[in-house]
Structure formats: structure tokens, C-alpha cells
Chains A and B, each alone.
Chain A
Amino acid sequence: MITQAAPPAQPPAVVPPTPAVRRRKRRPDLFRTLSRVLITLIVIVQVYPLAWQFLTSLRSEHDFATGDPFALPSSLTWENYARAFETGDLGRNILNSFVVTMGANVLIVLLGMMAAYAIQVLGFRLSKLVRGLFLIGIIVPVQIALVPLFIDYSQVNLLDTYQSMIIPLAGFSLPMSVYLFSSFYEYIPKETYEAASLDGAGPYRIFGLITLPLSVNTVVTVVLVNSIFIWNDFIFANTFVLSEDLKTIPLGLQNYIGAMGKVDWTATFAAVCVTITPLLLVFLVLNKAMIQGLESGATKG
């Protein structure tokens, strides 16, 4: 969309802070102090809930029920974690979420790359139409597929399987992936392909030898962004999964709901802390790659 020839992944850290320096000379520290205070405030707002969630998971039930929920706990306890593991099968829930997230991601990345390659690199007569078709998937809400998919699954015996979750999760994430990949492919210079073509490489080899290796950064971005949504997906899992063995984390968390809606909150928060840990770790380790991918994907509009 934008005619700017930025290199695909420009690390933001190398940008020299000259404008800031110059500005500071003109207007003394007021602006900078203000923005620091603002940024600190915003960061507190963003991080506090995670911290609160963790602290709550260390509170005793009694303390949580009667004390000020926002004060520091009067004493710390790991009891909630013991209860969390007793009530639910957290290990299995995490494993299931992992299988679903991975399965969906493989489809999203592989098929996303293939479609983008066909649309952007190979090109064909109706490519505009196909692109438009994919746009629909970015736009429509996932909820509309629930009723029809349920009926379809029951026809082909797919209810209560990993696939029943993976298919719609991947299907609805595919358009964004196609979009990110094709806007990335737009910036692979045509000459690269032409040179390879002249050497006699066919479309398959070009895909495997040129396009695929160049896409790594975008792959990381696509995987991480989608993982956030898929890991926490509730609506498809809740509709299509029935048996205990296939329950993913959000469904597993429901096991902490007792009779008539009574919830063991401290144990629930302990479980939440356990279940977001894997995602959080991956996120913290790979977050630099993801931020770079997002940024490079974004600046190319």
C-alpha cells in the first residue's frame, strides 16, 4: 500500500535519538518529565493486573474473602496451587492447548505462505477476487460459524476431536496470515525471482529456496500473535469439545466452578498463573523477534 522501500526488518534501536536531543534544547525538561511520568503510569496500569493475579493466587481463601482484595496479602501460601492441581488436570489441559495451538499454527503458517505465494508471487487472473475473499475472514466475527460448524461436524463425526478446534481457529486466522505474508512478499525484489527463473528454477523450487527462508521473521510474528488468541480461545473449545481428555486450558479453568456458580477464586487464579506461564515464557523469550516482525510487517502497511 505504501511506496516506501524500507529494508524488511529494521531494528528500531539503531535509530539515533537526534530529534529528541534537539527538542530538549529548545524546551527544557518539562515535556520529557511529563512524558516519563505518563509512561510510568501507563506501564503500571498495564502490568498491575498480572501482578495482582499472581498475588491473589498466593492469598489464603479467608484473606481473599474478607480482606481488601487490593492490599498486600497478610500471609503467603502455596495451598491454592495444591488445590488447583487436585481439582483439575492442569498438565493435560496445557498439553491439549499446546497441541491445538501448534496444530493451528502449522496450518496458519504453511497455508498462509502458500496462499500468499500464489497470490503475490505467482499471480493469476482472479487473484484480486481471492484476496477479497480472504478479506471477508478478517472482517467477520468468529461466532457466526458456531452453529453451522457444529451441524457439519456432527455429520462427518468430527465433534470432540482436536481437529474440530484446529480447523476453525486456523481458518479464521488464515486471512491475517495471508495478508502479512503477502505484504512481506511484496518487498522481495522481483529481480531475485527473475534471476532464479532464468537459472531454470520452477515455482516449487523458488518457494522452497527463496521465499521460505526469507519468511522466518514473519513466521515468528504470525505464530506469536496467533498463539495469544488460540491459547486463550474459549468459544470453539466450549462448543466442540465434550470429553475431559480433550479439554483445553480455558475449559479446564471451568472445573473450578462449583455448584450453582460458586467459584473457588484463589485456586482459579493459581491455575491461571500456572496455565499462562508457558505462553508467557515463550513470549518473553521470543518477544524481540515478534516485535520486530510486527514492526516490519506494519511499516509496509
Chain B
Amino acid sequence: MKNLLRAAAVAAATALALTACGGGSSTNSSDVSPTGEMKPHEISWLLSRPADGAVINIMKKLADEYAADHPGFKLNLITTPDRPSYIQKLETLAAANKLPELFDTDATPFAQQLAKQGKMLDAEKLLKSLDIYGNYRPGALDYQRFDDGSLYMIPFQFELEFMWYNKALLAKAGVAVPKSLDDIPAMCTALRSKGITPIAIDGQDQWPLERYVAYQPFREAGPGFVQKLKKGDAKFSDAAGQKTVNWMAELGKAKCFQDGFSAQGYSDAQNQFTSGQAAMYNIGTWELPSLATDKLNPAVRNDVDFFTLPTTAGSVTAANEFVSPSGIGMAVNAKTYDPLVSDFLKFALKKYPAQYAATGALSPTTDVQTTVPANATPLFQKALDQAKDLGSKQAMPWDTQLDPTTNGRLQQELVLLVQGEVTPQQFTETLDSTIAQNAPKFFK
């Protein structure tokens, strides 16, 4: 029996060693125009987007058109809309060295490691070689860039995040639209005293609460803060860090979020806002079809409006600079990049923006005009217009910035901080030591 065990252990070791070695082979990530014969074959795109959403529908249609001229070509769209499941799938595929031709990823530390190993194609060179680089909104590309400015993912969306609010509820509590982030806690107290839920938030998915922690440092110290924080070069104990920690604790003390928010999902939170129970709701333009069309509950339709991220006194970023993500980006696998993939991307990326804009969404490029749907309320156009006048900086969502372990801990501790289970001081100590422990592994 002992011998058997030993044999099995050796076999395990060999199998693992093989896998590990398999990961080492590097390919040239900057050769964007491969030469050779173009043989049509099936290619796959592993993506994390809604199964029936505009991106998938359009890319399917474009792939069908392309396949008509190139028999043998087929685009397999493999979608896992649930983000945590998707990330798991992507990471395990990368570990097994089985990434498909195209795959979605944010500009995470994990993606940066893939890029460093030459597994992803340089997107800047690719877009330039297709002569469409200049069409993209700078902000849309910046969102996809790694800290060193390199670009490996191609955006398919462009979204703006606003604070939506209910005018009638604010009036009922006698409060005005907050001029500064620091006005929000007092506003919440006033709303609560009238029995109104101040802010509806999707606590279950965790990223919405994590947005809030990013706001104060972005105003106080600019977009550089989180870039330093994640490497351990800045700390929560610094001035900007303390400002956001204390502010989050104040939001909690003022009971800004609905009771039991941490277990409530996306739809529940949105329903609270659209049914007139909650006064505010922080969400992006991807919800325009439900917030700025006649689909919105008639009872609140005339009361809904939005404002952009308030500034603070002494803010280093301007009012027209806030969270404007271009969604999860598409990376091109350098290992499987061939003339066919190149030719298809050339075909699809050129045709995509016009069709995408026709669905009423903001294209990541500036060469097309978004079609406002027939059932839209005036808010729709107002929201789209915000995209015309954006500053050069943008607030990055922290969940794409921090290393995954720190990110998970931050999400957990934020709930505790807002619920008053930990003090700002405990929060600061826990997070600073978590970063110190984990950052070196990802950013060395």
C-alpha cells in the first residue's frame, strides 16, 4: 500500500510539473499582423456579458456575416454572466494553459501577469494597425490600461455612473441635492427622520459598496491614490485613506443604506428606488433602458433625476471626472493569434460601433451617434450628453485594481465598517496589514 501511495504521489508531481512548465512558453505579444495563409476555422470567445445583451447579439450577427464570406469560420461565444464564476473559470483556464482565442478580463493584477508572460496581444498596436485606434474615446481606452499605461484589452462599451435620485422624496425631507460628498451623511439623517430609505444599494454583489470607498480618495488625492495603495505605497492610515474610512463609517452611522443591505441583490435594490421607497440609487448608464424610458414605474417617472459624483472642498479632480468604465475588455490570446483571428477582428471591430450605438448605448468610440430610443424620457438624452464633456481623469473601480485577496477582505470589512461592527481604526489596521501581506505577491 505504501508503495502505491508513493507511486501516486510521484505521478501527481509529474503531472503538476508538466502543467507548470506548459505555462512557461512565451509568444510574441507585439506581432499584430501575422503572416501566412488564412485558413477559416472555429474560434472561441470566453466572455462575461449578459447572454441576450447588445454586445453578444451584435457580435453574433457580425460573425454570421463574416462566416458567409469565409466558409468554415465560426465564432463560439461562451458566456458566464455571473462575474465571480467567470473569474474562476478564466483563472483555471489560464492555469491549465487553455485560454481560447479571445477572452474577457478587466485590467486586474492577474491580467497584468498574463500580459507580462506574453499571453495577451498588445491591443494598442493591434488597434493602430487596424487604423481605428484614434476612433476610441481616450477614457474608454484608459479604463482598460494597466498602471504602466500599456493596453491589452479592447473595450466594447462606454458607461457613466450617476447618482440617481427622487426629487419628491428629497423635497419631502427638505434636503437639497448634495453639493459635496461630505453633505451626504447629513442628507441621510434628514431622509431617515422622515421614514425614507436614503440610498438603495445592492449589497450582495459587493462592488456597489466598494464604489463608495473610492470616491473620497479620488476627490482628495486623485486617481493615483489607489494605484499606490494597492502596492502598499499608500496606506489607509494616510490622510486620504482616513478621510474615506471615516466617511464610510459616517454613512453607516447616518443609516444611509437600507437595513439589511448586505444581503440584498441588484434587483431588490433597484426596485426599492423605482417603487419610490428609496431616495437615491447609484448606477451606470447600462440601466438607462429601465430608468430613462417609459418602462420606469409611472408613479416615480417625473420625479427621477440624476447628478454626477459630487466634489469636495479642495478636491483635486473636477466635477466632470467620475466613474466612467468601458466595461470588461476583450483580450486577444497571443498564442492562438493567426491571420484569421486578425482578419475577423478587423472586420468586426470596424462594423461594431455603429450597430452598438443603434441600440441606444454609448459606443466606446466617438465616430458614431447613439440612437435615443422612441420610448425614452428626456433624461436619456441628458445622460448621453454627459459623455461629451468629460475631464481627463476617471475614478477607477477598486475591485479591478486591488489584488484579489485584499479586494475580498476590503469588501467584507467595508460591510462591517458601515454596520458599525468595527471601528475606523480597526478597519484601517486590518486592511493595511492585508495589503502588506498580499500586495508583494502580485506587484513585485
Among the 9-residue stretches B46-54, B116-124, B352-360, B403-411, the one with 4 or more Cβ atoms under 8 Å from chain A is: B46-54
A155 and B19 contacting across the interface, CB-CB below 8 Å: yes
> A255 and B81: CB pair below 8 A?
yes
Contact A259 B297 (CB under 8 A): no
In the complex, identify which listed stretch (A105-113, A146-154, A187-195) lies at the interface while the others stay far away. A146-154
In residues 255-278 of chain B, which contact A (Cβ within 8 Å)? 265-267, 270-271, 274-275
B62-70, B82-90, B144-152, B217-225 - the one binding chain A: B82-90
A residues near B265, Cβ cutoff 8 Å = 261, 263
CA distance A262 to B207 in the complex (A): 13
A258 to B82, CA, bound (A): 8
Cβ of A54 < 8 Å from any Cβ of B? no
Q: Are A261 and B83 in contact (CB under 8 A)?
A: yes
A242 touches B46 (CB 8 A): yes
Contact present for B275 and A66 (CB under 8 Å): yes
Residues of B within 8 A of A147 (CB): 92
Contact present for B78 and A238 (CB under 8 Å): no
Q: Which residues of B contact A228 (CB under 8 A)?
A: none
Contact across chains for A263 and B89 when beta carbons are under 8 A apart: no
Instruction: Evaluate whether A159 and B96 lie within 8 angstroms (CB atoms) in the complex, with A129-B1, A260-B207 already known.
Output: yes
Instruction: Give A167 Cβ to nearest chain B Cβ, in Å.
Output: 16
A33 within 8 A of B: no
Contact code string B13-36 (vs A, CB < 8 Å = 1, else 0): 001101100000000000000000
CA distance A261 to B206 in the complex (A): 10
Give Cα distance in the complex from A88 to B98, angstroms.
26
Chain B residues with CB under 8 Å of A152's CB are 15
The residue that A159 contacts in the complex, of B80, B98, B202, B266, with Cβ under 8 A, is: B98
Q: Is the CB of B53 within 8 A of A258?
A: yes
- Note all chain A residues with C-beta closer than 8 A to B15: 151-152, 155
Contact of B76 with A by CB under 8 A: yes
Q: Which B236-284 residues sit within 8 Å CB-CB of chain A?
A: 265-267, 270-271, 274-275, 284
Number of interface residues, chain B, beta carbon within 8 A = 43
Judged by a CB distance under 8 angstroms, whether B97 is at the interface is: yes
B302 within 8 A of A: no
A65 and B79 alpha carbons, distance in the complex (Å): 27
Do most interface residues of chain B lie in helix, strand or loop, or is the interface mixed? Answer: mixed
Question: Are B95 and A151 interface neighbours, CB within 8 A?
Answer: yes
Residues of B within 8 A of A161 (CB): none
Residues of A within 8 A of B182 (CB): none
| A257-B19 contact given A65-B267, A129-B1, CB 8 Å threshold | no
B413 interface contact, C-beta 8 A = no
Q: A151-B16, A151-B96, A155-B19 are in contact. Are A254 and B85 (CB under 8 A)?
A: yes
B320-365 CB contacts (< 8 Å) to partner A: none
**A163 interfacial contact with B, CB 8 Å:** no
Q: Are A154 and B98 in contact (CB under 8 A)?
A: yes
Shortest distance in angstroms between A61's beta carbon and chain B's nearest beta carbon?
A: 10
Determine the distance from Cα of A244 to Cα of B79 in the docked complex, in whole angstroms: 8
A147 to B12, CA, bound (A): 13
CB distance from B314 to the nearest CB of A (A): 32
Q: Is B286 an interface residue (CB 8 A)?
A: yes
Instruction: A106 to B205: give the CA distance in the assembly, Å.
Output: 39
- A262, B267: Cβ atoms closer than 8 Å: yes
Chain B residues 164 to 222 lying within 8 A of chain A, measured CB to CB, are 202, 204-205, 207
Inter-chain contact A257/B271, CB cutoff 8 Å: no
The closest CB in chain A to the CB of B80 belongs to: A254
Closest to B77 in A: A244
Of B16, B19, B77, B88, the residue contacting A239 (CB under 8 A) is: B88
Interface string of B37-66 (1 = CB under 8 A from A): 000000000100111110000000000000
Cβ of A243 < 8 Å from any Cβ of B? yes
Residues of chain B within 8 A of A65, CB atoms compared = 267, 271, 274-275
CB neighbours (8 Å) of A155 from chain B are 15, 18-19
Cα separation A271 to B96 with both chains bound (whole Å):
33
Asked if A87 is at the interface (CB within 8 A of a chain B CB), the reply is yes
Task: With both chains docked as a complex, state the minimum distance between the C-beta of A148 and any C-beta of chain B, in angstroms.
Answer: 8
Determine if B96 and A154 form an interchain contact, defined as CB atoms under 8 angstroms apart. Answer: yes
- How far apart are the CA atoms of A65 and B96 in the complex, in Å? 43
Give chain A interface residues in 242-268, CB to chain B under 8 Å: 242-244, 254-255, 257-265
Partner of B82 from A86, A153, A254 at Cβ < 8 Å: A254
A247 → B minimal CB distance (Å): 10
Decide: B76 and A243 in contact? CB cutoff 8 A. yes
- List, in ascending order, chain B residues with CB within 8 A of A257's CB: 50, 81-82
**In the complex, are the beta carbons of A259 and B50 less than 8 A apart?**
yes
Interface centre among B1, B51, B77 (most CB of A within 10 A): B51
Does A259 contact B85, Cβ atoms closer than 8 Å? no
CB distance from A198 to the nearest CB of B (A): 36
Please name the residue on chain B nearest to A258 by beta carbon. Answer: B50
> In the complex where A159-B96, A243-B76 touch, is A259 in contact with B88 (Cβ < 8 A)?
no
Q: Which residues of B contact A154 (CB under 8 A)?
A: 19, 96-98
- B271 near A263 with CB under 8 A, answer no
Q: Hey, which chain A residues are within 8 Å of B270, CB to CB?
A: 262
A207–B297 Cα distance when bound, in Å, is 68
| Proximity string of chain A (206-234) to chain B, C-beta cutoff 8 Å, 1 when within and 0 when not | 00000000000000000000000000000
What are 10 inter-chain pairs, A to B, with CB distance below 8 A?
A: A65-B275, A151-B16, A159-B98, A238-B89, A244-B76, A260-B205, A260-B207, A261-B82, A261-B202, A261-B265
Given contacts A154-B96, A257-B50, A260-B205, 10 further A-B contacts (CB under 8 A): A65-B267, A65-B274, A148-B12, A151-B15, A153-B96, A259-B81, A260-B207, A261-B82, A261-B83, A262-B270
